[in-house]
Homo-oligomer: A and B are copies of this chain.
Amino acid sequence: MTRTGEGRTREPLIGVLGGMGPEATLDFYRYILSLTPAAVDQDHIAVLIYSNPKIPDRTQAIISGGESPLPYLIEGARLLEEDGAGIIAMPCNAAHYYLEDMRREVRIPILDMVEETCAALRRRLPEVRTAGLLATIGTLKGRVYDEALEKVGVAAAIPDEAVCWMVQDAIDQVKAGKYGPSTRETFEYAGRRLLDAGAQAVILACTEIPLSFDENAVDYPTLNPARILAQAAVDWALGKKGRLP
């Protein structure tokens, strides 16, 4: 920790820039806890979660000139840095469109969920040449994954325009708390369509999707960037700093 004071531990503090959306942030915190080996409270990792759901919509900003979330993202990252976080995790795929601009504004590392996911894809499924993306329109149009996938030798496949909007609509329903069989079926169907179109694996590239998707219930390989990011954050805190930027 960069700041210590009376009563503050010198333990690693994970900063979480969340609220995009809040349920996905809840899910991310759950991954952190479940990935941490702990027998008593004190074995767990200190985490500071700034859940700011007022950050303007990423997709609107990327595709149709809505208010930019960047100033909010920078402010949130600075808050976490000032409070002593040693690293920042941002469980929102579309927000990674702004990652490089954010990194210039803080001194502590911001983990790259996209890069971590592509590395995990290469490691776990080395035979994959084309990966399908289930994501918001913002993540797709902003080409958030394309370059990182290319770097590991993988082509990105995206659904047909109509299916993309079905997925976006289901994501919006998850954000509204209206998820269940219908949203799950939409995500599973869209994943299946990606397989039909040549993808050999599917990336759940919006942190709301795992809230309404059972990775064990589909017959194709999937990657969950939120859980991969949580693992990277936990690894950092536990001292396995292999892949830090």
Residues of A within 8 A of B (CB): 5-9, 11, 19-23, 26, 29-30, 33, 38-57, 70-76, 79, 83, 172, 175-177
Chain multiplicity (copies): 2
- Select one of B8, B9, B45, B53 contacting A41, CB under 8 A: B53
CB <8 Å contact, B41 and A20: yes
CB <8 Å contact, B52 and A5: no
CB <8 Å contact, A51 and B46: yes
- Select one of B19, B38, B50 contacting A44, CB under 8 A: B19
Q: Which 10 A-B pairs have the closest CB atoms?
A: A7-B71, A44-B53, A7-B75, A49-B49, A21-B41, A9-B54, A7-B72, A41-B53, A47-B51, A22-B44
- CA of A195 to CA of B32, assembled, Å: 38
CB <8 Å contact, B47 and A48: no
Q: State the Cβ distance, A17 to closest chain B Cβ, in Å.
A: 11
Which residues does chain B contribute within 8 Å of A73, judged by CB atoms? Answer: 7
CB <8 Å contact, A48 and B45: no
Given A5-B75, A23-B33, answer yes or no on A42-B48 (Cβ-Cβ < 8 Å).
no
22 contacts between A and B (CB under 8 A): A7-B70, A7-B73, A19-B41, A21-B41, A21-B44, A22-B44, A26-B29, A26-B33, A29-B29, A29-B51, A38-B176, A40-B176, A42-B53, A44-B51, A44-B53, A45-B53, A46-B53, A46-B54, A47-B49, A48-B48, A79-B83, A83-B83
- CA of A115 to CA of B40, assembled, Å: 28
Which residues does chain B contribute within 8 Å of A30, judged by CB atoms? Answer: 26
Which residues does chain B contribute within 8 Å of A56, judged by CB atoms? Answer: 42
CB nearest neighbor in B for A68: B7
CB <8 Å contact, B41 and A57: yes
